[in-house]
Amino acid sequence: MSSSRRLGIDVGGTKCLALALDANGGVVDEQRRPTPKTADLLIETVTELAQAMLPWDSLGVGMPGLVTRDGTLRAAPNLVGVNDLLVGELLGKRLGCFVRVDSDATCAAAAEWKHGAGRGVDDFVMVTLGTGVGGGVVANGALMRGTNGFAGEIGHMVVDPDGPPCPCGRRGCWERYASGSGLAWLARRVHDGKGIMRVIDLAGGDPSQVRGEHVAAAAREQDANAVAVVDEYSRWVALGLVNLTNVLDPAMFVLGGGLAVGADVFLAPIKHWFGELLYAPDLRPHPSLAFAQLGEQAGAIGAALLADLH
């Protein structure tokens, strides 16, 4: 089923990354462009990138946001004014071929499934812990899309209906706690600035500049207050992983995103809390926690693989 040369383009919030894969999935060519801010220019940029990478046999595109099964971008938090953009159709007309489109998180899951941490695993969930929390699901040995194409919006599971407001308009979404910004928020909230002096030092002395990575760095230095915040953060991460396990019973979670880079600090407390919160924890092997292997290339590699997976 593999085409000989498959092109994948990952449209990110700031840049578009195009990768060409050979028949074995190896990256054989790469180009990037800044992501433009309007819908028209976006289609134009992706078209130009695709043409600049010719020849190729198939094209897949990963988009940040809600992508329908027929390749329409319903909305994208980071692309201003982009609503109901017929990405697949518009690119298809310009390029004269069928263009597959899916969400960047689903593409990343596909990439890790075929060439990364999830190789050979029939049931796993890719969880990206970054500014928000994204997800992609492989179940029954197939990429799960859902009826509209919106499966895997795991960051918006509500884990505390009276929790803090989320930019999505609801309260207590998982990503309010489990994302990098969630970790920083937990740090500022729990200690009201006073207890996290080392964290604030690492953020340049300004509490408003505290990011998740500063908390992780202070915890890595064994700063007791930072360790306590990391423990609370890990409990929230585990809570979401537990809910996903109760629903999907995966063999593995593949953790990606900026926070996964420093995950040595989180791994033990996440596993601890996972065991505390899981239903029937003694009656099954717990899903393994693996780290994404494809880094920032995952979206584009997965987009290129869509040709084999649809």
Tokens of 84: 């109901």
Tokens of 7: 């092109």
Out of 41, 52, 75, 97, the residue judged to bind its own copies by CB under 8 A: 75
Q: Are 172 and 159 in contact (CB under 8 A)?
A: yes
CA distance 55 to 51: 8
CA distance 92 to 191: 53
Tokens of 18: 């195009």
DSSP conformation class of 155: G
The size of the interface with its own copies (CB under 8 A), counted in residues, is 50
Q: Is 222 in the site for its own copies (CB under 8 A)?
A: no
For residue 11, which of 116, 128, 109, 102 has the smallest C-alpha distance?
A: 102
Q: Which CB, 221 or 276, lies closer to its own copies?
A: 276
Min separation Cβ 281 and its own copies, Å: 9
The site map against its own copies for 104-123 (x = CB under 8 A) is ------------------xx
Min separation Cβ 207 and its own copies, Å: 26
Tokens of 87: 């990405």
Q: Which CB, 76 or 215, lies closer to its own copies?
A: 76
Q: Is 168 in the site for its own copies (CB under 8 A)?
A: yes
Stretch that binds its own copies, among 156-164, 183-191, 213-221, 223-231 (CB under 8 A): 156-164
| 159 SS3 class | coil
| Residues numbered 174-203 forming contacts with its own copies, rule: CB under 8 A | none
| 276 SS3 class | helix
Min separation Cβ 134 and its own copies, Å: 11
Instruction: Report the C-alpha dihedral over residues 217, 223, 224, 226, rounded to 10 degrees.
Output: -30
Which residues would be at the binding site for its own copies (CB under 8 A)?
Answer: 66, 74-75, 122-123, 135, 137, 139-140, 142, 144-154, 156-161, 168, 170, 173, 235, 239, 242-244, 246-251, 276-280, 283-285, 287
